[in-house]
Structures are given as structure tokens and as C-alpha cells.
Chains A and B, each alone.
Chain A
Amino acid sequence: MPKQDCIIDACSYIYLHKFSFLSQGEEEVTPFDLLNKVVNIKHHKVISDEIKRNFTVSEEEALLINNREYQLQKHTLEHYDKTLYNKAIHHATTERDKGEKVNLISALDIIIKKKTIPIYLTDDIKAIRSEKKLLTNFLLYNIWTSFDAIIFLFLTTSNLSYEMVKNAITDFTAFIYKPTYDNLIKARDKKIDDQPAKKKEIIKKYAIKISSWRKQTQENKIDYLKRIEIINTLKN
């Protein structure tokens, strides 16, 4: 049976490479290595460039990244850009703005040409929110985060222990949720530095934002820990 296609973004690619599962008597493998065995990981060239800019890769890995580039088959990027985004990709000022759009186009191209619906793997929470309507308009309901990838791996990989998976959930929580938390703290502290007289109001305002983000982090972690607890029971 052919493997299912999985369109990945640069953030998720990096997170899935950030730690290794240690298997007894075997080589260290990253979550990406395991996922790559069960799905057909693809991304647009824009994403390849973004990965290489933000992540140190060997020459060999750079070649593998290039090989995973998905070539649009049905239409050119310009045509998709004009039809879906009113040339927003053409006019984008940052590469990051392009990334999520070209990946969506790649996924849509797969549906049209290969007549299958790929997995759309992204950890850019803001991007998912902004693109979700467009994604689901074209039946791209299969949106995964790295947490979901771990759930899938735990369900399908026999030598992945419950402890390893729990640790993976902890690590992904740190990688994915901490940057926003840090940014909130930095923004608060900067505002206090800029307007020391308004310190109390600023703390009050940010206390709500910070606690709301932390609550979201806690809820997400509990949700996935509960799921893996159930899977662990089912597997044993």
C-alpha cells in the first residue's frame, strides 16, 4: 500500500529533529526518522530554503531535504497564487508569510493530481488559525501538529515506550508553547521599561494574557497525556 503524503512546515521539521528516541541496542532515531518511515514527507521548495536557513543540516541531509520537495503538477505557483491569494505570495515581504501558503498549495495540488488527501503537518498555531478556513474549504481536515504525529507514531510503532512518548509530549510543549510565553514576558517587561509609571496596569493586563496562554498550554498537554495513557492501556 503506498504511503500517505504528509506536507510539513519548517517549524515542525525542526521540532521533529530536536531530540532522539533512544531504543535499546539500536541507533538513536528522531521522531522525524520514525515518521518518515510511515508517511511520505513532502514540502515546497520555499520550506526547504527556510529549513536550511534556520537549522544546521549536513550536506547529506540537505540533499534529502531537496529530494522531499514537492513539484506542483496541476498548475504553476503563479496560477495558484493568483486564484487563491490574489498574488499575496508574489507580494509577500517575508519568507515566513510565503511558507504556509505554498504548503497549502502543494497539498491542494496533491488532492487534484493524486486524488488523495494528504496530512498537513504544522506547529505554527497562528498560521493554522489564519489558514484554517482555506484549508478546510478544500477538505484539508487532516491538520496535524507534532503532538498528533507522536500519537500516530505511538499507535503504529511497536518499540516506542510510553515513557519515551510522554517525554516527547513534554519536549514539544517546551518547543512549541514556550516561545510565545517568552515573548509575552519580554513584551511586558519592555512596556514596563518604557512606561514605568503604568507598571501596575501593564502587569495587570499581561497577567491575564500570560495566564490564558499558560492555561492553553496546560490543557493541550493534559489532552495529549490522557490520549497516550489510553493508547498505552490499549497496546498492553
Chain B
Amino acid sequence: MNIQDLNLHKNPFEFLTPMQGQIDFWAGMPEIKSDIEQIYKNSFNNSPRNLILNWGPIGGGKTYAAYYFKNKGIDDFDDEQIIHIYTTSPKEGVKITKQIFRDILDGITFRKLKQYIQEAYNELGEDNLFEHIYEKINSEEFAKAVVNLGKEENIFNMHIFDLMKKYIFGTVSAKELDSLKLFRKLESDTDYRKFLSGIILAITSTKKPKRIFFWFDELEDTIYMTTKQYKEFFQTFRDLVDTVGGKFTIFMNFTFSEAEEENVRMLIGEALWSRINQKIYFKPLNIKDALIYCKDLLKNSQIDDSKGDYSPFEETAITEILNNFKQTDLIPREINRNINELIQFALKENQTIIDTNLYKKWFNSKTTF
């Protein structure tokens, strides 16, 4: 017996968040999906600042949301207008500002970066693009370096282009710097922040609007940073948010099992907390929402959708399963874990329909030693 005998193409209840590229379907939690979509849309309506905190228990769907929006975007805007970057909290031994800088550049990709800045250069012209960047970052040198990335003669000159790459990754020599007609290397954290802001300002300056969405996952790991590291991390976020404005949206995913907002404030610190302009709580579901979540997943995987919304489950069975969850466990990961096991049990028992009797048999098999 295999999964097709249960009227399913595949088992849709995954315990672990699937790989980034595999996610293209959203189940349940319509308010959260709608809130995030609205943030994407608002970003195109020139909102002044977008720093979003997504928080909730582990397995509540935050990483899934990041992957989903990275893969699917939103309907009203095309792929060229929405640039997604996904990264996790910097790991040990890494300079935080440089790591964030590199993650963002890796997310954009160097190939796209020169294309986007060239578009801005061609549309605005050298002087206007320079002014547009300079008035925000207050550095002639770094504004010039960003503008250089969009000059046609640089883009098609592989030697210059390679030197610009070396410049960005901090490995350019003094002589090479001279041949780029630049005088300062990127050295300090402030240099990297200014240059990064310049890049984002250039990319988002075209007539056809472009917006960057930066998903920063596992913010909770910043708890293991010392005060010095955390200040550097916060400074980078603050500079990006304050310099670039609403064209660059940061979603921070923060795992925390309690519903107490005050405790989240304490953990992430007042300085960052006070800059957040929207909080989305990935709370545990109620029974009604959990049923919608299961129905969406099952419908998306059914071979024959005329066999009922919950096929291969009988509605009474799936309702009973969900009713037996602790309220705090009614989160996607726990629902997935249990229902996944039950599906495996049905396969083992050669059952094509999962009813309350099968559920009880599975439940008893788990509790009997």
C-alpha cells in the first residue's frame, strides 16, 4: 500500500520545514498571509519605514512564510520588482556587519546588482544618481563607487568589473583602488553600512518601482550575542532602516513560545523594539483555524477532490484529533507531526480511510508500552 491509496499525491504534513525551493503553497492562517501581503503592497506605496517583527512558537510557520514569499512573491508585482533576501542570524566568529552585507549582496546576486544599478544609471544619469545616493549616505566616495557599478564602460570591462568585485569584498589593493579612481577602501563597519545603503538606494531608484524584502530568520539567536556584538547588529539594522526608508523592508522572525509581548520587548531590547512598526504574532491556532489549515493541505494533495474536503480523513476523525491537542500545541509543526504519524499508521494498517476508530487505535498504540 502506498500514499496514492489514501487519495494523496504525497503526504502534505511535513514535520520539518521543507527546503526553501520546495515551498509554493500556503495553508490556513489567512490573516497572517494577508498581513504580509499588505506589507509588501504598502512598501510600494512609499511607507516611511518597514521593520516587521514576526514572532511566535517554534514550528508556528515563520520560516515557512519567509520561504513562501521568497518563492511566490505577491500577485500585483513581477519578479523584477521584488527582490527577496533570506538569511539567518550571523554565526560565531563572523563580523556581524560584514556578514549582513555579504548576505544581502549574495541575495541580490552580483549579476543582478550590476543590471539594476545600470538601469538606474541609464534612467537617472550619473549626476542625479550620485546626488540621490549622496544626500542619504553623506559619503562622496561611496556614492561614487556605487555609481561606478552602473557605468556601461565598467560593466563590459571585465578587468574593471573584477576590481569592483574585489572592492566590494574588501580585497582590493591600493594600486587597484587607484585604477578604479577611488581613494578609500571599505574598511570600517560604517563604511560597509554606507555602501550597502547606497546600493539599495540605487537599486530602488528606478521609475518602475523595485523593492527589497529582507527576511532575517532566527532573530532569537541574538540572545547569544554579547552586548558589543548586539550593539553592532542593532546599529546595522538601524542604519539600513533609517537611511534607506520604506523601500527596504526587514522581516525579523523571532521564536518565542509565550504570548507575552512584554517579554519579547525585554529580549530583543528597547532600542530595536521601538523601531518596529508592525508585529505579526504567529499564534497557536484554534480548532476552526486548524481545520482550515488541514483542509487546505489535504485539498492541495488530493488525487480526487470529490471524495470530501478532508479525504482520506473523515471529518469527525480529524476534528477529534485536533480537539485532543493541547491548545499550545495547535501549531503547524505539531499538527504536521501527529497527522503525519497517523497517515503512516494508516498505511501500515492497510486502511484507505482514516476514521475515528483508526485514530483511536493509533492513539492507543502510542500510549501502550
Contacts and interface: CB of A to CB of B under 8 A. Distances in A.
Interface in A113-156: none
A211 B227 CA distance: 22
A182 B256 contact: no
B267 A218 contact: yes
Nearest to A200: B16
Contact of B223 (A19, A200, A211, A218): A218
A170 B263 contact: no
A225 B92 CA distance: 24
Given A173-B223, A173-B224, A218-B256, A226 B266 contact: yes
A171 B263 CA distance: 18
7 contacts: A170-B226, A170-B230, A203-B16, A207-B58, A217-B223, A218-B267, A222-B263
Interface residues of A, number: 24
B217 to A, nearest CB: 14
A74 interface: no
A70 interface: no
Nearest to B230: A170
B257 interface: yes
A178 B255 contact: no
Contacts of B174: none
A178 B220 CA distance: 12
Nearest to A217: B223
Interface string A150-169: 00000000000000000100
A236 B164 CA distance: 55
Contacts of B263: 218, 222
A207 B226 contact: no
B232 to A, nearest CB: 13
A214 interface: yes
Contacts of B230: 170
Contacts of A225: 266
Contact of B92 (A167, A182, A211, A214): A182
Interface in B256-297: 256-257, 263, 266-267
A221 interface: yes
Given A214-B255, A218-B220, A225-B266, A171 B226 contact: yes
Interface of B: 15-16, 58, 92, 220-221, 223-227, 229-230, 255-257, 263, 266-267
B255 A211 contact: yes
A181 B256 CA distance: 16
Interface of A: 19, 167, 170-171, 173-175, 177-178, 181-182, 200, 203-204, 207, 211, 214-215, 217-218, 221-222, 225-226
Contact of A177 (B92, B220, B224, B229): B224
B223 A214 contact: yes
Given A170-B230, A174-B224, A211-B255, A204 B267 contact: no
Could you tell me the dominant secondary structure of chain A's interface residues? helix
B335 to A, nearest CB: 15
A170 B227 contact: yes
Contacts of B256: 218
A209 to B, nearest CB: 12
Contacts of A171: 226-227
The residue in A170, A178, A203, A217 that gathers the most chain B C-beta atoms within 10 A of its C-beta is: A170
Contacts of A207: 16, 58
Nearest to B14: A200
A167 B228 CA distance: 9
Given A211-B255, A222-B266, A174 B226 contact: yes
B266 A174 contact: no
A226 B226 CA distance: 19
A203 B58 CA distance: 14
A221 B16 contact: no
Contacts of B15: 204
Give the residue among B16, B225, B257, B266 with the most A Cβ atoms within 10 A.
B266
B267 A222 contact: yes
B320 to A, nearest CB: 26
Contacts of B226: 19, 170-171, 174-175
